[in-house]
Chain A
Amino acid sequence: MRKQTYNVLLACVVISAITVFYLSISAMECPNSGATIWSVWTANQHLNKNLSYPLHIPLEFSKGTPLIFVGGVPRSGTTLMRVMLDAHPEVRCGEETRVIPRLLAMQATWSRSSRERVRLDEAGVTEDVLDSAVRAFLLEIIVGHGEPAPRLCNKDPFALKSLAYLSKLFPRAKFILMLRDGRATVHSMISRKVTITGFDLTSYRDCLVKWNRAVEVMYDQCQGASKGSCLPVRYEQLVLHPEQVMRELLQFLELPWDSSVLHHEQLIGKSGGISLSKVERSTDQVINPVNIEALSKWVGKIPDDVVKDMADIAPMLRRLGYDPLANPPDYGKPDPLPLNNTKQLKGAKGNADEFHSS
């Protein structure tokens, strides 16, 4: 009998061991774990950090939650920014929600029409009531969207078209507006065929006009936001001098420095790290470390007539500090880290047939 029990116990142990092994492998692709202390603990283990301070994860979310919103015109480095932030142990952004910009756009339509505002006021649906409803919706999505973290973050590029409104909903929120040379942005969406509502991918001219309009709307709101709440970040500076930019950024966000933000590629798919989506168009790029490959791919690709008219088509270029007549402008010299990353990337590709556009 003793031998039987012994065998039974042994079998239990073996089964448990196998289960643990299997589950820990599959748990790496855990898309949506709502666990509380566990994921933080494992995150610490993964990062091999000995955090000297305890991570405080809030249990309640409200108007006062210090959210982080990342956005900009699509193809401006928004995904790179959010994955680098995701690499920070205290931040969780997660994938695009898609639904947040839709709700914000609907609210903007109601708000723009004075007639509708009057009708809503008559119905008792005042701005305060509507704001609390939109806020509640956003919080449910942002909070439930991934692992808990001390600082929750959201990246939906066009959400920043409602930057001022979001700032009203969440007075303690901080905004990161990704800016990029419009020519690079437009070349990226056209060459990669990334459908964006309102952008005609057959025309560089149309896309540049639309880029100009969109970035102006967002940039004006960023400039008009209360002091210290919106930071514009240039994609070119981010990839050329990642440490400098990230140090400034983390200070702006009132977060401690953590060098893992410079090595986001090591945390992809890890718990407490970075979750990527198969349907997002930048996923195949952000699995690589920060590099300067996509900087000037647009040069020579823009039709001549558009190049000639550039300053008139896209006046925001000059306003943002990009010389509309230089092809390309001098964005700056890369730091060793991104330079090395780019060399390794090019080396790995070698004479690969696959042609990556920006």
Chain B
Amino acid sequence: MCASVKYNIRGPALIPRMKTKHRIYYITLFSIVLLGLIATGMFQFWPHSIESSGDWSVEKRSVRDVPVVRLPAESPIPERGDLSCRMHTCFDVYRCGFNPKNKIKVYIYSLKKYVDDAGVPVSNTISREYNELLTAISDSDYYTDDINRACLFVPSIDVLNQNTVRIKETAQALAQLSRWDRGTNHLLFNMLPGGPPDYNTALDVPRDRALLAGGGFSTWTYRQGYDVSIPVYSPLSAEVALPEKAPGARRYFLLSSQMSVHPEFREELEALQAKHGESVLVLDKCTNLSEGMLSVRRRCYQHQVFDYPQLLQEATFCVVLRGTRLGQAVLSDVLQAGCVPVVIADSYILPFSEVLDWKRASVVVPEEKMSDVYSILRSIPQRQIEEMQRQARWFWEAYFQSIKAIALATLQIINDRIYPYAAISYEEWNDPPAVKWASVSNPLFLPLIPPQSQGFTAIVLTYDRVESLFRVITEVSKVPSLSKLLVVWNNQNKNPPEESLWPKIRVPLKVVRTAENKLSNRFFPYDEIETEAVLAIDDDIIMLTSDELQFGYEVWREFPDRLVGYPGRLHLWDHEMNKWKYESEWTNEVSMVLTGAAFYHKYFNYLYTYKMPGDIKNWVDAHMNCEDIAMNFLVANVTGKAVIKVTPRKKFKCPECTAIDGLSLDQTHMVERSECINKFASVFGTMPLKVVEHRADPVLYKDDFPEKLKSFPNIGSL
């Protein structure tokens, strides 16, 4: 029966027994159902295209189709712009609320076409660059489409070039934005401000409290800490690829490539050229070129024609003169070519000067001193010039090369003002990647000898060697500067001995029980550690005398940023195997100290636990080995300094020391340790360990001096 239904669906031929009336009825019905199903199927299988076709109307549209907004002639105009605005007066920081990621949220108004009462457009709808800029913001982490959560608003009204907008009407368009509120928290981007005849150095469009990211600010219009000075984007950045050129002396010492230079400046430049000959080249626009040639990409000197901007790579210094506007796109071209800009534009606020250190990449010369430019530049040492060339190119790569770079740097600057405690540092803004990679910033950089009264905390990691542990506790407690003793009980299967059984010592003794038997427990930054100095000591190190330990603490005080330890070790490059090798023999050098007995700053415990690179920490815990090598790597990497080995060599009870006893060398142990070094070096991406040839002894060690008058007589006894 039911099979017949199936057949029925297949077609009318299979239901011949039905009446024709019924048949037509059913056929129609089924066709409708079938069509319906097919249509549904299409909806279901094309859901994305349908949804995006819904979005399509927003996303894949033509700029020409955007909604038109008619501005009545009498609609309000914002105030001109408040020169006294500062972040704490004109910026509504409450809108930025608390953001755990310390990142502002930026909203972009949707694109509209504004026309006046007569239907004449207020401006070109949007320029290519402004579209790129808004796309960059929209693609960034800053973007939000929720206007209620936004902290910063970016209108889609394009004012990059003041000449393309009608000032009053644009201002009216701004004023009618839904969250305008006197321009509070609104950000406008403008690269070409002012217009004839007086060429103001900031956008003339009245904008009330809105922030202005402007190219070509002067000290008179720039609101320090409120506006952002941005570069004038050079379209050549995208058109012409100039490969990076190694710094060094170039064919021309000083080059002027701008086409429209004020006659007075040109006179000065030509005087320089006349005086210094070939090393100075002053170019002008080409007048005798045939129509077809791109005059923007050509420069001429007399009858010589040069390619621009390629020519810039032939010069060490390039003049960036003020034109009608202070900000010039040539600055970007010059930086791209790795030519050091010589900025001659009084009162010009250089791009991103709030964060970029232009002294490192440019020379600023007052207009008055233009005739001295040559001698000023000649007085700069060659090494510094090369540094500046490198820096110039890096600035271009990081902050000039694309509209996106400019937009993101601008938002980062505003972000840093709102969340100053999470701000990007001077070094991050200014140091080229190569310097960032090579430089070390020691977390304990202040030269300081901590007071002796502070004392140290001894941390003993133990599993079950109670007897040996108690001996260590007794020995260590004799050290005068010990202020606390912490036993890290790493055995989960066994309880530590009862309190009454522990040795009675003069300082507090605390036992910390761990959740897991891991080696990294020894380096955990326990709250119980109240001193800066930590002595990590194994539960079998009983051979160190009180004098030796006290002296070790004194050495740590003089070198608080280093690992100060007793047994020293060395890493060597094995030329045969082409890898690192661990060495525990009597060598003349040390690069590591074992943490079976070592003093170090407690901050390194924090670093070990929370900032150890890669998977080293887990690797150590899994292999139950090399936690000391990891600590040596960590400290050397972060401080850039070598360890200090204290006092003469002693017999230590440790696996590799058997070699010294003349017994068989534990080969597997050495292989494992070597493996650790190679593993860690690959994780760190470098070999941070430093090799030194010295160790620390008391001043009078083995000197011909009465023993009883020495501060640390009992040192070095085996």
Tell me whether A and B are bound partners.
no
Q: Chain B residues in contact with chain A, CB under 8 A?
A: none
